[in-house]
Amino acid sequence: MPVKTRSYNERMTVHHQTFDVAVIGGGLVGKTAALALTQGGRRVALLAQTCAALPAGAAFDARVYALSASSQTLLERLRVWQALDVARLAPVYDMRVFGDAAAELHFSAFQASVSQLAWIAESSLIERALDAALRFQPNLTWIDSRAQALDVKPDAASI
């Protein structure tokens, strides 16, 4: 189903474009989806406002993700993992989860015979690598805006 976007410049002129897919939202999931779709040959519109940089003087991003082995594999396939600064990644070798009534779950990379259970990575680190990869995608149009409305018809959708 084709997706049509309508954007306005300063003079309120309407610009119509047609895409195979529109991704709304520029978080890690939206950017990863847009990258995978463009690398798969789809014409993609990414509607996402530019994300703010770290505050001045911040040594690290307190927003972190625990990336599973399957997330790592996906980022490797998209050629994003290789662009991450390995000095800013931390492996998780052991995990204990405590619940009610002294219940405990224990996960161990050693016992599972894997090199690590997950990787801890700063959100901004991953976003910068995704942004760089997205800049090289000829099938991607990044629209620095928010979606205002959605009109779905049997043969197309308009945003």
- When pLDDT is cut at 50, 70 and 90, the band that residue 31 belongs to is very high
Round to whole Å and give the CA distance between 8 and 92. Answer: 46
pTM: 0.81
DSSP string, 16-40: EEEESEEEE--SHHHHHHHHHHHHT
For the domain 3-51+63-158, what is the CATH code?
3.50.50.60
In percent, the amount of the chain with pLDDT more than 70 equals 86
Q: What is the pLDDT of residues 66-114, one digit of tens each?
A: 999 999 999 999 999 999 999 999 999 999 998 887 788 999 999 999 9
Query: Which residue ranges make up each domain of the chain?
Result: 3-51+63-158
Local structure of 149: helix, strand or coil: coil
Q: What is the CA angle 60-134-119, rounded to 5?
A: 40
